[in-house]
Structure 1
Amino acid sequence: MLSQRLRTARKAKGLTQEELAEHVCTTKGTISNYENNHSTPPNDMLRHLADILNVTTDWLLGRTDVASPASIPASDSGEKRSLDELLQEKIDDPDDYYFLDGYLEASEEEKKEIRRYWYDLKKQWKARHVREDRSPSLFDITENLKKK
């Protein structure tokens, strides 16, 4: 079920496996494995895929036939709020305002471009962060000693 729905949602968004892989910081082969039922995404990846494809995780897993998260339940009030209302709530926060300024009014093409840049930045940060966590090579250590 997951494999078929993932492929359907990806194609409905007009994305190739490679493009979807870029959005979720993985490889085309990983997406292919998900779509061919050779592997199953972990929970975090499943949520990320659902967000990118604008579907619910329940729909991807076959638990419901409602694909689109048209509205999200509000916290204890029982009423439903749209995604735009939730985003507006974030914009009301001064720190988030400058980051999200104009996003709601942007065209779909502009929003797509903003998201693409955001995922690229996250991927670059993740790559830099991984390198920083590695132990320095013997070459790096000797070069640092030479500088002193």
Structure 2
Amino acid sequence: MFILGGARMYFGEKIRMLREEKKMSQIEMAKNLQITSQALSQYELNKRMPDTGMIQKIADFFNVTTDYILGRTEIKNYEEKICEDQEKYSATTRQIESLSEDSRKELKKYIELLKIKESIEKTDEETSSALEKNA
């Protein structure tokens, strides 16, 4: 068995899930990857691990990263993640820009206040941790 990423999904389960999302049979996928259906079956059952070239080929086939397939991240595709993040930040920026000048100044002060609060909390945690170690 090949456990990748600790408690995360096994490599084989991950590629089986991706294949099933595309509603493909093992035979169809194996044909696309130019491997035998037996080899694919062994990958999906975690009885055999493909070489790095095949891992890359599988990732490319599903338009996901090798890190996703190997269980190192739950982000399937960084380009999609970046687009999602840009949309979130754009929405936030539009909200800020819709505020009056006075409200934006108040928001800036509030952000500075939150930074100070977090800094104090971090210092308190570090102090408590240091005291516990020395006790």
Distance between the aligned counterparts of 1:28 and 1:67, measured in 2? 24
Match in the other structure for 1:68:
77
Q: How does 1:101-116 map to 2 (within 5 A)?
A: none
Distance between the aligned counterparts of 2:64 and 2:20, measured in 1? 13
Q: Which runs of 5+ in 1 are unaligned?
A: 74-148
Q: Shift in Å at residue 25 of structure 1?
A: 0.5
Q: Shift in Å at residue 28 of structure 1?
A: 0.5
Match in the other structure for 2:40:
31
Q: Shift in Å at residue 67 of structure 1?
A: 1.2
Are 2:58 and 1:49 equivalent residues in the alignment? yes
The SS at the match of 1:70 is helix
> Structure 1's 22 and 69: CA in aligned 2 closer, same or farther, altered over 3 A?
farther
Once the two structures are superposed, residues 78-109 of structure 1 have per-residue CA deviations (whole angstroms, 9 ceiling, x without a partner) of xxxxxxxxxxxxxxxxxxxxxxxxxxxxxxxx
The SS at the match of 1:52 is helix
Most deviating of 52-61 and 28-37: 52-61
The SS at the match of 1:3 is helix
Q: Shift in Å at residue 56 of structure 1?
A: 1.1
Q: 2:14 aligns with which of 5, 11, 23?
A: 5
Aligned length: 73
Once the two structures are superposed, residues 43-97 of structure 1 have per-residue CA deviations (whole angstroms, 9 ceiling, x without a partner) of 00010011111211101100000012436x9xxxxxxxxxxxxxxxxxxxxxxxx
Are 2:30 and 1:21 equivalent residues in the alignment? yes
> Structure 1's 69 and 9: CA in aligned 2 closer, same or farther, altered over 3 A?
farther
Answer yes or no: is the 8 Å Cα contact 1:6–1:60 preserved in 2.
yes
Higher strand share: 1
Answer yes or no: is the 8 Å Cα contact 1:24–1:48 preserved in 2.
yes
Answer yes or no: is the 8 Å Cα contact 1:9–1:55 preserved in 2.
no
Q: Which runs of 5+ in 2 are unaligned?
A: 1-9, 83-135
The SS at the match of 2:73 is coil
CA RMSD between the two structures: 1.9
